[in-house]
């Protein structure tokens, strides 16, 4: 009788690290999450300690192995997905970081990006990378590290520097310092990859002062990235066989394999993607063109819209305003009032992403008076997330040239029924939520499983995908237009402030 094989999937996210084990039927065996500290050394700056990230990954793996009770030697493959644009610089010999990781949310390079815009480089950059000049992406963060941390530029001169996104940092440590690689979906978020050729671009490297030798080797999303080595609690020899950036992994985990299929992940931010197949669509609506994945020489692209703040808004209500004790309480508080009470919240806590790309914008709460309660603010926060996502889908449908009939949703906040129903009302199409909303880590597991032959095709994965519930539009067109008009006014006030 054939013994069961398992896949271990790691999702290294913005606020925590998740480990999950699936069996060969893609059934969840166990999962565990470990949070780590966020650092805010200055206004608009966000950092992580790379060693704390490693510790959180190790702890989650230990816990998931303990909970599952399986023999670690039965793990046939390992997948990695990660917060994408976050940058780490470390020593090639010791593995020690030279500086805290600069997180994707960090806005410290806003001035430098504005200067490049002033020089008229934005259109040129979009043509090469599919991205817009914004501190969101990795290249300006890498340049900041090179310019402001003397040990880093010295290490580059001495050939000791490794600099990359979180996946490459994890891989380096999981393989006992033997593998310094990344996949093309993560590389497409650095602003250093030519999205047409899928190679590091010489002109971009020169512009940002980055040496090719300091960057990881490029691989497909399903590939042989390396083998685990000297990394407790895992045995040596487990192949790392699937890697993708978190939002591309979520698109894959939702089995959105065909052009026109879309998903929105509600995590720390909200990220909407539509698969465009092998067609590279350059956005005219402020969206991004990104690599979805590359498997066996077949590349898939996606259009992406990014709202920087979704779950982080709920965390702010919890930790900053103390309106709730736990994030799960937000829906009940929002339902404690019958409607929004005229209150609108623009959740630009770290600037506005697509389609506005305004790094200086900050959140705005408007329309409140003495009758405004905690419930109204909670409801306005949830609705503010939905309004931002509506803008993403509106832009996406214009670029793609077709109206969407449905969209798959996932992430922690997708379990909020009030938010999902309001989102469907605004967008005017059906939202479909799967049984497993943690599709980011699921997508990494799917990629890893394909890499080791646990599943033979994407069709096999579609057969395993189970739907939990659907949300269909219920709001009248008149009310929808009224709400969108009021939101537009609140948004204009935010952008003008």
State mean pLDDT over 272-292: 92
Chain centroid, CA 349 distance in Å: 17
State mean pLDDT over 121-133: 93
Cα distances (Å, whole numbers) of residue 379 to 17, 288, 313, 323: 29, 29, 12, 12
Confidence (pLDDT) at 466: 81
Question: Is residue 46 a contact partner of residue 39, using CB atoms and an 8 Å limit?
Answer: yes
State mean pLDDT over 143-162: 94
Confidence (pLDDT) at 247: 93
Query: What is the per-residue pLDDT across 188-208, written as a single tens digit (0 to 9) for each?
Result: 999 999 999 999 999 999 999
Share of the chain above pLDDT 70, in %: 99
State mean pLDDT over 343-356: 85
Q: Which of 72-86, 129-143, 303-317 has the lowest mean pLDDT?
A: 303-317
Confidence (pLDDT) at 365: 86
Residue 44 confidence (pLDDT) above 90: no
Residue 50 to residue 60: CA distance in whole angstroms: 15
Q: Tell me the pTM.
A: 0.90
Residue 372 confidence (pLDDT) above 60: yes
The alpha carbon torsion through 492, 306, 484, 406 (nearest 10 deg) reads 170
Residue 401 confidence (pLDDT) above 90: no
Confidence (pLDDT) at 465: 81
Residue 1 confidence (pLDDT) above 70: no
Residue 2 confidence (pLDDT) above 70: no
Residue 364 confidence (pLDDT) above 90: no
In which band, very low, low, confident or very high, does the pLDDT at 283 lie, cut at 50, 70 and 90?
A: confident
Question: Is residue 170 a contact partner of residue 54, using CB atoms and an 8 Å limit?
Answer: yes
- The reply to whether CATH 3.30.420.40 applies to domain 6-247 is yes
Share of the chain above pLDDT 90, in %: 74
Residue 115 confidence (pLDDT) above 90: yes
DSSP codes of every residue in 143-206 = HHHHHH-HHHHHHHHTT-EEEEEHHHHHHHHHTTT---EEEHHHHTTTT-EETTTTEE-HHHHH
Confidence (pLDDT) at 308: 83
Q: Where are the domains of the chain?
A: 6-247
- The overall average pLDDT reported for the chain is 92
The pair phi, psi for residue 400, each rounded to 5°, is -75, -25
Please tell me whether residue 50 adopts helix, strand or coil conformation: helix
Residue 34 to residue 116: CA distance in whole angstroms: 38
Confidence (pLDDT) at 459: 86
State mean pLDDT over 463-476: 90
């Amino acid at each position: 009788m054939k013994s069961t094989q398992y896949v271990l999937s790691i999702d290294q996210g913005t606020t925590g690290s998740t480990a999950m084990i699936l069996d060969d039927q893609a059934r969840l065996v166990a999962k565990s999450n470990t949070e780590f500290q966020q650092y805010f050394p200055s206004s608009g700056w966000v950092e992580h300690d790379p060693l704390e990230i490693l510790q959180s990954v190790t702890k989650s793996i230990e816990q998931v192995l303990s909970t599952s009770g399986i023999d670690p030697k039965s793990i046939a493959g390992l997948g990695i997905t990660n917060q994408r644009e976050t940058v780490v610089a470390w020593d090639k010999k010791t593995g020690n970081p030279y500086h805290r990781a600069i997180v994707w949310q960090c806005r410290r390079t806003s001035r430098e990006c504005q200067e490049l815009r002033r020089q008229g480089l934005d259109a040129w950059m979009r043509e090469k990378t599919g991205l817009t000049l914004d501190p969101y992406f990795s290249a300006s963060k890498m340049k900041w590290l090179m310019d402001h941390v003397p040990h880093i530029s010295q290490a580059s001169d001495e050939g000791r520097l490794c600099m990359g996104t979180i996946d490459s940092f994890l891989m380096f440590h999981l393989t006992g310092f033997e593998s310094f690689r990344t996949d093309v979906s993560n590389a497409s978020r650095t602003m250093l990859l030519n999205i047409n050729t899928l190679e590091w671009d010489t002109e971009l490297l020169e512009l940002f002062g980055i040496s090719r030798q300091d960057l990881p080797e490029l691989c497909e999303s399903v590939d042989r990235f390396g083998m685990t080595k000297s990394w407790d609690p895992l045995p040596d020899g487990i192949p790392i066989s699937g890697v993708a950036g978190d939002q591309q992994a979520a698109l894959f985990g939702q089995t959105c394999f065909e052009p026109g299929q879309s998903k929105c992940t509600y995590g720390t931010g909200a990220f909407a993607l539509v698969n465009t197949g092998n067609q590279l669509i350059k956005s005219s609506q402020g969206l991004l063109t990104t690599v979805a994945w590359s498997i066996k020489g077949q590349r898939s692209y996606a259009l992406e819209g990014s709202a920087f703040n979704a779950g982080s808004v709920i965390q702010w209500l919890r930790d900053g305003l103390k309106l709730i004790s736990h994030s799960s309480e937000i829906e009940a508080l929002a339902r404690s009032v019958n409607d929004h009470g005229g209150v609108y919240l623009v959740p630009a806590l770290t600037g506005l992403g697509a389609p506005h790309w305004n790094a200086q914008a900050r959140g705005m709460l408007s329309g409140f008076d003495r009758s405004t309660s905690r419930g109204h603010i909670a409801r306005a926060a949830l609705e503010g997330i939905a309004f931002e996502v509506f803008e993403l889908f509106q832009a996406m449908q214009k670029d793609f040239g077709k109206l969407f009939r449905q969209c798959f949703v996932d992430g922690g906040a997708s379990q909020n029924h009030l938010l999902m129903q309001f989102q469907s009302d605004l967008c005017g199409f059906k939202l479909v939520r799967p049984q497993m909303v943690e599709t980011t880590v699921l997508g990494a597991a799917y990629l890893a499983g394909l890499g080791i032959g646990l599943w033979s095709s994407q069709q096999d994965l579609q057969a395993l995908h189970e739907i939990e519930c659907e949300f269909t539009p219920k709001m009248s067109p008149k009310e929808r237009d009224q709400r969108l008009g009021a939101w537009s006014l609140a948004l204009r006030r935010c952008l003008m402030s």
